[in-house]
Structure 1
C-alpha cells in the first residue's frame, strides 16, 4: 500500500460503512433517489474521502481538520438512518446495525484526533 491512509483501520472501517449504506439505499423508494438515497450515500462516502485527503502530505492540524469533516459526515449518516427508520425504509434491526457501525467509526476518528495532539 503506497498511501498512508490505506494503513488506517478507521479508513478501512469507513469504506465498509459506505458499502453497507450503499447496499441499504438500494431498497429505498424511487422518489428518494435524489434526496435521502443520494444524501446518505454522499455522507457515507465522504467519511473515508476526508480521512484519505487529510492524511497524505498534510500537517497534523490540517489532518485534524479533515478528520473533523469525516466526523461530521459520520453524524450525518446517523441522521439519515433516523430519517430512513421514521419513513419506514429500514427495519429497527438494520438501523441498529448501521448505527453501531457509525458509533465505531466515530470512536476511531475521535481517538485518531486525540493521538495527533
Structure 2
C-alpha cells in the first residue's frame, strides 16, 4: 500500500490523535448538541488534518503554506469551541487542559511547517 506524503507528517499524525480525542469528548455532550457544538467540534478537528492532506498535493510552496495556515485556523476554531464547551459544563477542566495542550503542540508544529514551506 502506498503511503502518501501527508501521512508521513508528524503534525498530520498528531491531528488525527486530536480528532479521536474530540470524538471521545463529544460523545458525552448532551444529545441536543448533536447538530450544534458536537458537529462543529468534530468537523473543525477533521479540517486540520484534511487541509494538511490537501496542501501536500499543491505544486508551489506558497500554496502548501496556505493550506497549512487554514489548518492552523481550524485548530483555533477547535480551541474556541472547546472553551465554549468547558464554559457550558460539557467538558471537564482536566479534559479541556488535555485537549488544549494537544492543540498547542499541533499549532506549534503547524507554525514550524509553514515557516519551512515559505522559506524553502
Taking only aligned residues, the RMSD between alpha carbons, in angstroms, comes to 0.8
Q: What does residue range 74-113 of structure 1 map to in structure 2 within 5 Å?
A: 74-113=75-114
Q: State the 1:9 CA deviation.
A: 0.2
Q: Distance in 1 between matches of 2:91 and 2:103?
A: 16
Pair 1:32 & 2:33 matched: yes
SS at match of 1:98: helix
Q: State the 1:57 CA deviation.
A: 4.1
Q: What does residue range 1-117 of structure 1 map to in structure 2 within 5 Å?
A: 1-116=2-117, 117=119
The runs of 5 or more residues in structure 1 that have no matched partner are none
Q: State the 1:2 CA deviation.
A: 2.6
SS at match of 1:34: coil
When normalised by structure 2's length, the TM-score is 0.94
Q: State the 1:59 CA deviation.
A: 1.3
The runs of 5 or more residues in structure 2 that have no matched partner are none
When normalised by structure 1's length, the TM-score is 0.97
Q: How many residues align?
A: 117
* Greater than 4 Å deviation, 4+ residue runs: none
Deviations 1:42-92 (A, max 9, x none): 000000000000012431000001001100000000001101100001110
Native 8 Å contact 1:3 1:56 kept in 2: no
